Every structure is written in structure tokens, then in C-alpha cells.
């Protein structure tokens, strides 16, 4: 029974703990300089709100009864021996306050009512904002309209507050302790700018009608000067001045050009778009645009930098400025060259083509166009098992077929078993589906990844039968070929039907006997001898005559099979 009572007590204690979350405390700080007429009323208004924990008046060297009136009104008073400025008074009050939320109020506010003070604090208490600034109707706002807003629009165009210099604001202590408060009238706009850059939640609330003691032109001049200094200092600190001067613009555009060039390289080598030439040509276009922009603005930067460095005044300052200003450009250039050299470090040169293979893609540049193609992007390929009931079929991406020199519908012999080459399933453009027996013979496992330049190494010395592409439909020709992994000296063989060229192929042609078939039967065998002058062979059926012409020298990754390896050609007339 006792354990039930203990459990009940623990549950009650837990609920009590959950419901006893301490509310945020609130401190009100009132900087005051010669405000004996209004300070007591401001304090009285604030005290009427029961959730205010402390009221601190900072007497900033007043020569009147400000300090005495504040004490009599019930505020804690801290005094400066001389006038140090509004911001300095706010800093003193903040350092000596304890509230989780700090509200700053001017001491010269006339006819302030509790509802207005409540509007400045409640949004933070309710979790709606981290900083509250106010706007209100007043007779004049000359510094705001003629000085602050134009500068803010120029340096901080994202700030759209109606009254950035309202003077009355509240903020969480956690935010205020992480910024540097100004010592003068720039404190208000400094808080707004810091909040904006730091990304804290700032809310502008309308507190209705409010009136201040009117300032003289002399006093407004001081306020305007301090506001301008604060905005310009923040603009410099946050990089807004560098962003708009001519050198800064050139540097940004230079970085843009180098970044575009790097992006272009990634498009060429790594981005997959079908068809593959889209990514290639898009990447090349981006590279060209990037290089043009980079060269143009780098030249401008060099000219401006030379003038800056050669200036006789404060060369050490100029060199320091040079480093800070130019480091983004230098780093961008290093990144671009690192990417470029990494890719070019994977260059494979074969006769007739240059293959550049980074970790993920294989880009091929043919020295001489192959079927009107000078660029291609291939691989890598992932090995997977064959689909059920496809034990004699290999599904292979078109790019892989091109690398092997084969086409869909061709056959390849692996360990004395024939496999028909078929297209991939939609969505599997980089998958090689190979049956179990074929994978074992090739030494491949499921999930192996093969780069395009390595593909021929796995299929080397295999016999395949490939249908030739011809310019006539009257005859089909299948050629036998041995897949090699390197390009060797080879021959071009042209085919003519009734003295009209219908196609050609290439391959290594060694000395030996070669078999030619016609309509399913062995038609003839021919002997190739390097000393023999015979370079044409005829195949006839009725009135049709096919001439096989051994033509010029070339390079090829394929080899024609001798009679003990397979067929040379298989002719079938329709």
C-alpha cells in the first residue's frame, strides 16, 4: 500500500514541477538627462503593470531634480557624474539589471499610458518576437526621414520599418548580451541592425499617440551625426560598403565568373541529364560564360589593385585591405583549379580518343569524329542480378554498349553460353543486369560499380556477334568480333553490294583462316597473309554480288575472329 502512496506523491510532484515553469522576468531601464518634469510620470505608468520586476533610472549627469523625482517615484536610480550619452546610460542600466526581458523607455515621454507599455512587452512574453521596436504618431521625425531611412535603404535595403529610430524598444537579455551597445544616440538603430543581421525575430508594434519634448536643431544635428556614424560603422562591419564600391563589385563578379566555371566543370563531369550531350553542352556554355566574366573582372581588379598598392599613404593598411578584399577571389580560383586538375588527372589517352574519367563520370573526346560525334559522357555502371526468366539475357545501358562497340540485339558468348544484349528497364539507365553464371565468369558481384574505362577489362577476349549498320535493307550482315581492352593496329573493311558501298567495319586482322557464312551455311574460307596482295573477296547469290574490301590502316579495340574463334561475316539476303 505504501508504494501506491509513494507513486501518487511522485505523480503530484511531477505535475507540480511541469506547471511551475518560471515566467520571464522584466526589467525597465529609463535613461534620463534633465527630465525632472516627466520622469516620475513614466515611472508611475510602468509601476502600474504588476509583472514588471524592476525599474532602473539612469541619471546621466542631470543638473536638475531628475534623480530626486525618480527616487520619490519608487525607481532604483543609478547616476553618472557627468553626461555620457543615451547609449552609455542604457549600457549602465543593462549591466545592473536582472530581467530576462529588458524594456528601454525615454524619460521625456508625455501622457504615456500602461497599455502602450504593455504592447512593448507582451509579444516577447507570448513568444512572438525576440526584439520589439515601436512606431507611433508624432509631430516630427526629421532625423528618421532625412538621414536614417535614406542610409538604411542604401546599405540595408531589407529593413523596412516605418520608424527605425523610435527610441522605445524591448529585447531578450540573451540577445542584448551578445551585441555591442552604442554609447550615444546610435544605440537604437544599432540594435535594429544587429538584430537584422543576426536573424533574430524583430517586430514593430504601433503604440498609438505619443509625444516627446521637442529637440532643437543643434540637438538634432548631434542625433543625426551619431545615427549616421552607427549606420556606416555597421555597414562596414557587415560588409555592405565592400559590396557596393567599384573594387568590391569587380571582386564579386570575378568570384561569380570563377564559380560559374567550376559549376560548368561539374555539369560536364558529374551531372546526369538525358540525353547525355545536354549536360555536356550546357556545362561547356557555363564554362565559357564564366571564363569571359572572370577574365574581364580580374583584369579590372588587377588594375585597381595596382593603383591601391602603389598609393604612398599607409601601405601596410593597403596590403591588409588587399588580403581581405581579394581572399574570396583567390580561394575561388584555387577551388576551380583544384577541380580542373583533379579531373584532368584522370586522363586516359587511346588512339583516336581522349577519355577523362573522374570518380563519378567518364567524358570522352574523340580526336576524329565517330559517327559525327566528338563528345560523350558515360558511366559509371552498377552490377545487379538478372530479372527472373532472363538467364540468357544481359540488360545493358546504351552507353556501355557503345563502349563495347555493340548494339541491342547482338549476342555475346561468355563461358560457351550465348547472351542476348537487351535494353535496360526504365529508371535503370546505369544498371548492368547480368545473370549469375555470366557474373561468375566475369568475376563480378552484385552492387559492384564499374567505371566506363574499366568496362572492356571485364569483357576482354570475349567473342560477340554484331549486326552491322548498312545503307540497304536487301541484306543483313552479322560480323564476329573479339572484344579487346586496348586499341591496336587494325584494318578497315568496306562492304559493297553490286558495286555500291553499303557499310564498313574495323578490327584487328591477323594472319589466319576466316570463315564466311551465307544463309546459314559455310560459304567459303579465306586466308589472310600479310605478304598476299589479295585485298578483295566476293560473295555471290544469284545476281547479287557482295565485295569484301580490306582497305586502309586504322586503330581498333576489336579483333576479327579466325576460324577457330568464330565467324568473320554471316550474310543473309532477304
CB atoms within 10 A of CB 440: 13
Mean pLDDT over 444-462 rounds to: 91
Q: What is the mean pLDDT of the chain?
A: 82
Domains of the chain: 24-241 (3.90.550.10), 245-344 (no CATH), 379-459 (2.40.40.20), 464-573 (no CATH)
Beta bridge mates, 78: 58
State the Cα–Cα distance between residues 131 and 197, nearest whole angstrom: 13
State the Cα–Cα distance between residues 562 and 137, nearest whole angstrom: 100
CA distances from 265 to 258, 314, 366, 373, 502 (A): 11, 41, 18, 20, 40
Contact 429, 382 (CB under 8 A): no
- Mind listing the pLDDT tens digit for each residue in 163-182? 777 778 899 999 998 888 88
- Mind listing the pLDDT tens digit for each residue in 261-302? 888 877 777 666 666 667 778 888 988 998 998 898 888 877
Apex CA 75: angle with CA 211 and CA 99, to 5°?
90
pLDDT band at 217, cuts 50/70/90? low
**Hunting for cell 576482354 — which residue is that?**
460
Residue 471 has a pLDDT of 92
Please say if the pLDDT value at position 354 is more than 80. no
Alpha-carbon torsion 423, 427, 429, 433, what sign? negative
- As a dihedral over the C-alpha atoms of residue 69, residue 71, residue 75, residue 79, rounded to 10 degrees, the angle is 90
Which one has a higher pLDDT value, 502 or 189?
502
CA distances from 173 to 191, 260, 307, 516 (A): 12, 43, 47, 92
Q: Which residues contact 380 (CB under 8 A, 6 or more apart)?
A: 360, 361, 362, 430, 449, 450, 451, 452
Residue 309 has a pLDDT of 60
Please say if the pLDDT value at position 55 is more than 50. yes
Please say if the pLDDT value at position 122 is more than 70. yes
Residue 151 has a pLDDT of 78
CB atoms within 10 A of CB 146: 11
pLDDT band at 14, cuts 50/70/90? low
Task: List the grid coordinates of 541.
Answer: 547469290
pLDDT band at 314, cuts 50/70/90? very low
Lowest mean pLDDT: which of 11-25, 213-227, 420-434, 526-540? 11-25
Please say if the pLDDT value at position 440 is more than 60. yes
CA distances from 444 to 81, 372, 382, 424 (A): 87, 34, 10, 18
Residue % of the chain over a pLDDT of 90: 44
Residue 318 has a pLDDT of 44
State the Cα–Cα distance between residues 296 and 167, nearest whole angstrom: 47
Residue 366 has a pLDDT of 54
Q: Which residues contact 154 (CB under 8 A, 6 or more apart)?
A: 244
Lowest mean pLDDT: which of 26-35, 43-52, 363-372, 419-428? 363-372
Apex CA 491: angle with CA 489 and CA 496, to 5°?
170
Contact 385, 395 (CB under 8 A): no
Amino acid at each position: 500500500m505504501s508504494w501506491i502512496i509513494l507513486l501518487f506523491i511522485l505523480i503530484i510532484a511531477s505535475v507540480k514541477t511541469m506547471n511551475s515553469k518560471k515566467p520571464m522576468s522584466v526589467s525597465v531601464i529609463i535613461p534620463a538627462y534633465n527630465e525632472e518634469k516627466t520622469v516620475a510620470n513614466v515611472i508611475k505608468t510602468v509601476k502600474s503593470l504588476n509583472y514588471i520586476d524592476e525599474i532602473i533610472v539612469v541619471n546621466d549627469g542631470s543638473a536638475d531634480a531628475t534623480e530626486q523625482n525618480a527616487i520619490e517615484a519608487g525607481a532604483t536610480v543609478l547616476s553618472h557624474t557627468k553626461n555620457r550619452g543615451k547609449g552609455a546610460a542604457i549600457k549602465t542600466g543593462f549591466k545592473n539589471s536582472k530581467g530576462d526581458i529588458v524594456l528601454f523607455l525615454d524619460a521625456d515621454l508625455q501622457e504615456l499610458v500602461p497599455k502602450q507599455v504593455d504592447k512593448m512587452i507582451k509579444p516577447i512574453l507570448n513568444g512572438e518576437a525576440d526584439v520589439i521596436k515601436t512606431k507611433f504618431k508624432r509631430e516630427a521625425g526629421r532625423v528618421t526621414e532625412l538621414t536614417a531611412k535614406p542610409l538604411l535603404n542604401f546599405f540595408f535595403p531589407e529593413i523596412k520599418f516605418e520608424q527605425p529610430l523610435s527610441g522605445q524598444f524591448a529585447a531578450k537579455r540573451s540577445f542584448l548580451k551578445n551585441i555591442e551597445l552604442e554609447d550615444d544616440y546610435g544605440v537604437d538603430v544599432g540594435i535594429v541592425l544587429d538584430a537584422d543581421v543576426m536573424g533574430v525575430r524583430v517586430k514593430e508594434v504601433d503604440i498609438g499617440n505619443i509625444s516627446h519634448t521637442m529637440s532643437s536643431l543643434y540637438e538634432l544635428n548631434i542625433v543625426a551625426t551619431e545615427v549616421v556614424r552607427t549606420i556606416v560603422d555597421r555597414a562596414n562591419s557587415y560588409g555592405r560598403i565592400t559590396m557596393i564600391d567599384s573594387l568590391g563589385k569587380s571582386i564579386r563578379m570575378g568570384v561569380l565568373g570563377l564559380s560559374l566555371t567550376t559549376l560548368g566543370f561539374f555539369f560536364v563531369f558529374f551531372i546526369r541529364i538525358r540525353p547525355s550531350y545536354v549536360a555536356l553542352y550546357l556545362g561547356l556554355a557555363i564554362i565559357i560564360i564564366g571564363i569571359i566574366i572572370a577574365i574581364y573582372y580580374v583584369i579590372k581588379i588587377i588594375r585597381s589593385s595596382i593603383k591601391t598598392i602603389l598609393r604612398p599613404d599607409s601601405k601596410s593598411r593597403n596590403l591588409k585591405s588587399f588580403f581581405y578584399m581579394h581572399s574570396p577571389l583567390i580561394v575561388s580560383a584555387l577551388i576551380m583549379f583544384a577541380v580542373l586538375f583533379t579531373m584532368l588527372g584522370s586522363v586516359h589517352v587511346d588512339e583516336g580518343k581522349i577519355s577523362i574519367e573522374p570518380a563519378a563520370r567518364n567524358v570522352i573526346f574523340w580526336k576524329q569524329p565517330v559517327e559525327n560525334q566528338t563528345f560523350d559522357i558515360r558511366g559509371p555502371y552498377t552490377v545487379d542480378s538478372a530479372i527472373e526468366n532472363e538467364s540468357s539475357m544481359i540488360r545493358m545501358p546504351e552507353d556501355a554498349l557503345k563502349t563495347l562497340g555493340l548494339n541491342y540485339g547482338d549476342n555475346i558468348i561468355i563461358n560457351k553460353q550465348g547472351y542476348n544484349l537487351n535494353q535496360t528497364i526504365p529508371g535503370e539507365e546505369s544498371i548492368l543486369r547480368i545473370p549469375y553464371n555470366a557474373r561468375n565468369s566475369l568475376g563480378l558481384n552484385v552492387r559492384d560499380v564499374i567505371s566506363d574505362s574499366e568496362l572492356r577489362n571485364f569483357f576482354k577476349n570475349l567473342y560477340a556477334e554484331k549486326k552491322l549498320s548498312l545503307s540497304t535493307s536487301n541484306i543483313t550482315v552479322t560480323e564476329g568480333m573479339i572484344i579487346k581492352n586496348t586499341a591496336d593496329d587494325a584494318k578497315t573493311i568496306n562492304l559493297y553490294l553490286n558495286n555500291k558501298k553499303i557499310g564498313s567495319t574495323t578490327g584487328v586482322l591477323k594472319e589466319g583462316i576466316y570463315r564466311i557464312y551465307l544463309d546459314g551455311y559455310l560459304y567459303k574460307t579465306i586466308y589472310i597473309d600479310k605478304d598476299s596482295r589479295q585485298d578483295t573477296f566476293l560473295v555471290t547469290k544469284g545476281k547479287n554480288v557482295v565485295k569484301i574490301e580490306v582497305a586502309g590502316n586504322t586503330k581498333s579495340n576489336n579483333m576479327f575472329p579466325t576460324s577457330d574463334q568464330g565467324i568473320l561475316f554471316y550474310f543473309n539476303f532477304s
